[in-house]
């Protein structure tokens, strides 16, 4: 098929979509204007609705064909008479995007006919204008431009401009599909414009500052004011400091990072039911810090301290509320996405496949569960990213940064950090170009270990100074050991077997966690075998080999921790590492077998990952941009001070929690203690009350020794209230899991008040 043929096909498909879209408007107009009815209401079973619907069906069928024919010949002959370049399909591609936009707006969204007609009219004018004046708009030139910093900057500024146009379109029209079209079309136009003055302006336009629009996405005057201010800034930069924005760090690092931020940031981060299992303990530990207590010494904590410390400092600036907690965790999530992309770009090389790996990563991890998987993967990858950078540019100070970030990974997630540090040491000594017994190898290790030991000593020094080192070791090792011995474990799902092959069973398999785990397992072992083969065949490891095998080894070792849980969210940790290896393989295959690589890529993205991508992520992403900054639907709120800013699903009864918190605050002083059992650690934060024991999460410290400790603390500290929620069971855990404490509470406390599932109990003594 020639390029001219491609253009004809694009025009034809676009015409069919336009015809199908506008026939809905024309048909409705004719029926209502001329009162057309093809059916007889005198016939048995024919209602007015049936008569209207069938008349609509018949007219719609006819008008769709007529309008498609008109659109095709108008656009085809316009292309022949207005365009001087019959091989340029850029205008036809834009027309295709316009037609898809119109089709989606008329077939899947409520629309105003007049606005759709105006939209189609504008689309056609743009198409004719590009045919007449845009002969230099060429896909081949676009591809070439995207390889230069100038082209990249124009394209990325087009993305930021598309975002602001999307927000303004959402506010000024009722055509959601049009706003999404602006987001797609604006970057294409920005990279395609050949007018030198506009090119120079776009290359000096500080588009990244348009990201400030997320602070006021529904305020039209501010959005327009921001756009005008930045246009003026761009003109001034062009006049006085032209080219200042073409720096490599700005184009290739800051711009991509902020574009990922723009895609990943969800203005509705504060919306959703509160998850006590995933969010509650963070708030309890923040409350400990508010009270001036030291984690591990004064409170039993089973996680590394970096997140509670960071959340406390962030909330101190932003206010101690659920809103602050959720914003902090969401910013960590977005940071994890950014790190993942730069790591993927370093390892995979092909930017398109790196973006695809990020897309799948975002889809399979973006859920209502706030378990920080993105940053817990991100920091270990960042430490390895520094190591890989050292492999390429051989600057020793980068090894110090690798070691420091490795320790920060440990302070964020013990398993991920330990594996990252181990991999850094082994990879440096095995894959570095320096000989194993050379002075250079010794120097490399000194720099790496100075980063690891230096930052570790700071943390250990803090633990020693606060008498927290022994409890830190005891508490974190107890929790890790408990998981390795079966606590809170679930088996991995397996495929269902039958006597005969059933395709529906196989289809279910493609939708399940099972295939993800199977692909993950085989991917790691495949790269392990490749590494062993390369080693014994005495073939030299290239820097690219070193990076990808280090990544595979990291994922393989981390698998032990994931298998200790085996639920979907913990298996994701290693599956997300396997994604990098899979897309690396596809990118290498693409170099020689393009069609096969594309077919396998589509299989991974839209078959294997379809439950996350098709059924969840794409829907959420589109809805986010269509309603950016608006709260759609009915939600409830917590009316105590620290519940501010959180919107809870309307199906949740928030009143019992509010009434219970209010009762506790009114009937106890700030210095009096409470105890929450068996699990609702957020109550300490909500009520702004201290814990009479050292344990905020009894289920996590279930051993008899820890139960005896809780009972001893209750006896010595005499809490004013015990908040008892017998129905708070999860993961096969119940009050029977901490039987001794449950029996003590039942024997020594009586119910004073009941608020929904919460019993407020007071001492018998």
pLDDT digits (tens, 9 = 90+) for 273-307: 888 888 999 999 999 999 999 999 999 999 999 99
pLDDT at 567: 61
Lowest-pLDDT range of 183-187, 428-432, 565-569: 565-569
Give the pLDDT mean for 441-466. Answer: 95
> Can you read off the two tokens belonging to residue 188?
């294409």
pLDDT for residue 469 is more than 90: yes
pLDDT for residue 226 is more than 90: yes
Whose CA is closest to 546, among 535, 537, 558? 535
Give Cβ neighbours of residue 496 (< 8 Å, ≥ 6 apart): 505, 508, 509
Give the pLDDT mean for 227-245. Answer: 92
pLDDT, tens digit, for every residue of 617-640? 888 888 899 889 888 888 988 989
List the alpha helices (DSSP H) in 466-567.
469-484, 503-510, 513-536, 543-563
> Can you read off the two tokens belonging to residue 50?
């049936």
Whose CA is closest to 402, among 415, 421, 416, 418? 421
Q: Is-contact 70 117, C-beta < 8 A? A: no
Give the pLDDT mean for 221-229. Answer: 96
Give the pLDDT mean for 196-223. Answer: 93
Q: Which has the higher per-residue pLDDT, 143 or 647?
A: 647
pLDDT at 562: 63
Residue 564 pLDDT level (bands cut at 50, 70, 90): low
pLDDT, tens digit, for every residue of 361-391? 999 887 655 678 899 999 999 999 999 999 9
CA 46 to chain centre: 51
Name the pairing type of β-strands 758-763 and 749-755. Answer: antiparallel
Q: Is 425 helix (H, G, I), strand (E, B) or coil?
A: helix
Give the pLDDT mean for 326-355. Answer: 95
pLDDT at 136: 60
**pLDDT, the chain, mean:** 90
> What is the reported pTM?
0.91
pLDDT for residue 140 is more than 80: no
Q: Is 761 helix (H, G, I), strand (E, B) or coil?
A: strand
Give the DSSP H/E element, type plus range, for residue 97: helix 90-108
pLDDT for residue 726 is more than 50: yes
pLDDT for residue 101 is more than 70: yes
pLDDT for residue 131 is more than 50: yes
pLDDT at 367: 61
> Can you read off the two tokens belonging to residue 464?
């020693």
pLDDT at 1: 42
Give the pLDDT mean for 424-429. Answer: 94
Q: What percent of the chain has pLDDT over 70?
A: 95
Residue 341's CB: how many other CB atoms inside 10 A? 24
pLDDT for residue 23 is more than 70: yes
List the alpha helices (DSSP H) in 241-321.
248-249, 255-264, 281-290, 306-318
Lowest-pLDDT range of 55-59, 193-197, 554-558, 671-675: 193-197
Q: Which has the higher per-residue pLDDT, 263 or 610?
A: 263
Phi, psi of 158 (to 5 degrees): -65, -35
Residue 253 pLDDT level (bands cut at 50, 70, 90): very high
pLDDT at 704: 93
Residue 2 pLDDT level (bands cut at 50, 70, 90): very low
Q: Is 752 helix (H, G, I), strand (E, B) or coil?
A: strand
Separation CA 730–CA 743 (nearest Å) = 20
Lowest-pLDDT range of 203-207, 324-328, 512-516: 512-516
Q: Is-contact 251 627, C-beta < 8 A? A: no
Q: Is 633 helix (H, G, I), strand (E, B) or coil?
A: coil
């Amino acid at each position: 098929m020639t390029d001219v043929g491609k253009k004809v096909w694009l025009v034809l498909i676009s015409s069919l979509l336009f015809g199908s879209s506008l026939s809905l408007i024309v048909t409705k107009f004719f029926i209502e204007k001329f009162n057309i009815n093809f059916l007889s209401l005198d016939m048995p079973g024919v209602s007015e609705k049936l008569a209207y619907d069938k008349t609509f069906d018949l007219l719609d069928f006819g008008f769709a064909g007529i309008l498609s024919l008109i659109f095709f010949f108008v656009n085809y002959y316009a292309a022949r008479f207005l365009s001087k370049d019959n091989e340029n399909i850029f205008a036809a591609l834009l027309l295709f995007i316009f037609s898809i936009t119109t089709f989606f707006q008329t077939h899947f969204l409520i629309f105003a006919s007049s606005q759709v007609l105006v939209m189609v009219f504008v689309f056609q004018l743009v198409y004719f204008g590009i045919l007449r004046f845009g002969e230099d708009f060429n896909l081949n030139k676009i591809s070439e431009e995207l390889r230069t910093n100038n082209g990249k900057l124009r394209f990325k500024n087009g993305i930021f401009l598309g975002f602001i146009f999307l927000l303004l379109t959402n506010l000024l029209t009722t055509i959601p599909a049009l706003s999404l079209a602006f987001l797609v079309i604006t970057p294409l136009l920005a990279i395609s414009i050949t007018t030198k003055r506009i090119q120079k302006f776009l290359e000096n336009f500080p588009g990244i500052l348009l990201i400030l629009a997320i602070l006021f996405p529904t305020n039209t005057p501010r959005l327009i004011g921001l756009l005008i201010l930045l246009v003026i800034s761009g003109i001034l930069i062009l006049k006085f400091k032209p080219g200042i924005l073409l720096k490599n760090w700005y184009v290739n690092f800051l711009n991509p990072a902020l574009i990922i931020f723009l895609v990943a940031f969800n203005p509705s981060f504060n919306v959703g039911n509160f998850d006590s299992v995933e969010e509650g303990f963070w708030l309890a530990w923040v409350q400990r810090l508010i009270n001036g207590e030291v984690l591990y010494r004064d409170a039993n904590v089973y996680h590394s301290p970096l997140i509670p410390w960071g959340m406390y400092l962030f909330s101190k600036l932003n206010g101690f509320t659920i809103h602050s907690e959720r914003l902090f965790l969401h910013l960590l999530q977005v940071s994890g996405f950014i790190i993942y992309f730069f790591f993927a770009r370093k390892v995979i090389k092909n930017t398109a496949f790196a973006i695809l790996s990020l897309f799948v990563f975002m889809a399979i991890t973006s859920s209502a569960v706030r378990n920080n998987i993105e940053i817990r993967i991100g920091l270990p990858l960042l430490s390895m990213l520094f190591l890989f950078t050292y492999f390429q540019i051989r600057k020793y100070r980068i090894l110090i940064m690798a070691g420091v970030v490795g320790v920060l990974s440990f302070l964020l997630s013990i398993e991920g950090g330990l594996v990252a540090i181990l991999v850094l040491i082994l990879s440096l000594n095995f894959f570095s170009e320096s000989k194993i017994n050379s002075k250079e190898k010794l120097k490399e290790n000194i720099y790496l270990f100075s980063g690891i030991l230096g930052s570790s000593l700071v943390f250990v020094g803090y633990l020693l100074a606060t008498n927290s080192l022994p409890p830190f070791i005891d508490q974190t090792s107890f929790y890790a050991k408990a998981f390795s011995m079966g606590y809170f474990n679930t088996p991995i799902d397996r495929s269902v077997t039958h006597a005969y092959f059933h395709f529906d069973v196989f289809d279910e398999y493609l939708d399940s966690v099972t295939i993800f785990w199977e692909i993950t397992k085989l991917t790691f072992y495949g790269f392990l075998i490749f590494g062993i083969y390369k080693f014994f065949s005495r073939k030299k490891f290239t820097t690219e080999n070193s990076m990808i095998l280090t990544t595979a080894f990291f994922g393989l070792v981390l698998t032990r921790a994931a298998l200790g849980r085996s639920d979907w969210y913990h298996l994701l940790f290693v599956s997300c590492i396997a994604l990098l290896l899979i897309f690396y393989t596809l990118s290498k295959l693409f170099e020689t077998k393009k069609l096969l690589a594309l077919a396998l890529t589509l299989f991974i993205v839209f078959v294997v990952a379809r439950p996350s991508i098709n059924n969840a992520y794409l829907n959420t992403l589109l809805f986010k941009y269509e309603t950016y900054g608006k709260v759609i639907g009915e939600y409830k709120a917590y009316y105590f001070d620290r519940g501010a800013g959180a919107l809870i699903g309307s199906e949740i009864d928030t009143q019992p929690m509010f009434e219970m918190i209010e009762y506790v605050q009114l009937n106890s002083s700030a210095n009096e203690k409470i105890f929450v059992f068996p699990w609702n650690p957020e109550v300490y934060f909500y009520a702004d009350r201290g814990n009479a024991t050292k344990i905020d999460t009894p289920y996590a410290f279930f051993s008899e020794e820890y139960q005896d400790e809780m009972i001893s603390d209750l006896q010595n500290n005499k809490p004013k209230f015990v908040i008892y929620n017998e129905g708070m069971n999860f993961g096969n855990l119940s009050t029977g899991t901490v039987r001794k404490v449950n029996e003590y509470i039942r024997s020594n406390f009586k119910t004073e008040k009941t608020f929904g599932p919460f019993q407020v109990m007071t001492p018998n003594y």
